[in-house]
Amino acid sequence: MRSPGDGPQKCQVPGRQTLTVRVRFAPSPTGYMHVGNVRTALFNWLFARSKNGAFILRIEDTDLQRHVEEAIHLITEGLYWLGMDWDEGPGKSGNYGPYFQSERSEIYRRDVKRLIEAGLAYPCDCELQKREADTPCPCRDRQGKQGDSMKTGIAVRFLNPGGTTSFEDIVQGALDIDNEQFGDFVLIKSDTTPTYNFANVVDDHAMQITHIMRGDDHLSNTPRQLMLYEALGYSPPEFAHLPQILASDGHRLSKRHGAVSLTDYRDEGFLPEALVNYLALLGWSAEGEREFFTPEELISQFSLSRVRKSASQFDRQRLIHLNSLHMEQLPIEDQAQLALEALCRAGILEDPISDDTRDYMGQIMEALGSRFKYGDQILEFGAHFFTEDVTIKEELYSYLSSPDVRNAICTAQEALAEVQDWNESEIEDIVRSSASQFDLKAAPLIHAIRVALSGATVGPSLFTLVRLVGQQRSVRRLQAALDQVPEEAT
């Protein structure tokens, strides 16, 4: 049984031509979709699409204690949102998959029985979880005995052949691993569920997987799996272990570094195309200096030969930058929709959104221009357009505390209240004239009025800001700012 198999076979997937490349994304439904998981799925998907191959989704749900039902929805909806379609599964009418390991117990039972009968695995009822890998198991003398090996309370161990496992990893290069360090590892746990390594080998062979791409934290699993491929007489796939994604401080990416789940970025208003673009560049190098790619362009250029061995650092600012490039490709009405969704999430607006509000948001998007880089940024640059009052933070009081600036604001306020034709040219004339009356340059007054109207120091042109805030609100906010901020405050 330890002889090589006949190699991967070509197979037919509905709607596609004959395939020679088959990959899978096999997440465990234990929580949210981490960006590292998403990057792994993306590399598999890009490779499959670049080779006109099959991308298979398999949910590894045999760990009953850690299973989270909602996680399955997060996985499938997340892939759907990113545009990463999968090709086959047990679904009906073209609504494919995913596959679930929990529904495949018969094939695990079949293969473990073969191993036991061949003397390559044995039932074990000692304290499995407490046994060290280098401690011989007293159950070894049960080789070849089927017994009650698939009943609760009895597990199955693999008879480690010893020696060295050598393999060529597409990314990591040639590796030689001492098999002895793994001992007689468990195939079937005492609760009758398969272990990760055993279920993966059985499923990957059954699904005719040709390439396995996963994080390099799985490197220690590969020798175990290769031993099982040989014992079962299965030809192994090629392996590519992808570099880790680290935080900017060099540590593993975690919640303490901010958003790390796919849901977080979706809810912040990032574009799926931008996230795909960014994650593709984490661990993979495109030709030339380009950084902006559509999914179609990534498919056409993707190659495993350009996957880097070293870890990558997640840079949120670069993601924001790439998202802004993709935002620039969107029509104004689509940008406005992203901003409106963010305001609804924040409770500033409520559905349904009126046509007038949509038109108003479109004008705001035109004014913000490239400042609007992702959905939730509207809370920083545009929420004041949809609220009645603005609270000025104490650190901004200095913009409004000078007597000359305050006098100029009063003058401008009175003039703005009398304007008949509310337009930017008229607004600019009033602001500049009010500044000159008190021997001020225009800039201090412009900054002060911006803070009074928006509570911020940056944004679109002040005269556009005043026009969009509106005449009555502008006059009211100027007075409220003078009332809130004490004169000569520091």
Positions annotated as catalytic residues are: 255
Residues 6+ apart with CB under 8 A from 414: none
* Number of DSSP helices (H) and strands (E) in the chain, helices first: 17, 12
Distances in Å between the alpha carbon of 226 and those of 107, 178, 195, 198, 262? 18, 12, 15, 10, 32
- Which position has the token pair 């011989």? 136
Token pair belonging to 218: 């799985």
* Longest CA span, the chain: 101
Spacing of C-alpha 307 from chain mean position: 19
Token pair belonging to 348: 């500033």
CA angle at residue 83 from 312 to 10, to 5 degrees?
Answer: 90
Q: How many CB atoms lie within 10 A of CB 27?
A: 24
In this structure, the strands spanning 186-188 and 173-178 are: unpaired
- Alpha-carbon distance of 125 to 117, in angstroms, equals 18
Q: Could you give the residue ranges of the DSSP H alpha helices within 166-283?
A: 196-206, 221-232, 262-267, 272-280
Token pair belonging to 247: 């935080």
- Alpha-carbon distance of 169 to 307, in angstroms, equals 12
- Alpha-carbon distance of 242 to 309, in angstroms, equals 7
**Whether 488 contacts 397, CB under 8 Å:** no
Q: How many CB atoms lie within 10 A of CB 410?
A: 14
**Whether 408 contacts 471, CB under 8 Å:** no
Closest CA to 447 of 467, 431, 436: 431
- Alpha-carbon distance of 77 to 73, in angstroms, equals 6
Token pair belonging to 189: 């746990």
- Alpha-carbon distance of 358 to 230, in angstroms, equals 63
Token pair belonging to 462: 């002040």
Closest CA to 22 of 61, 49, 4: 49
**Whether 435 contacts 444, CB under 8 Å:** yes
Q: How many CB atoms lie within 10 A of CB 328?
A: 13
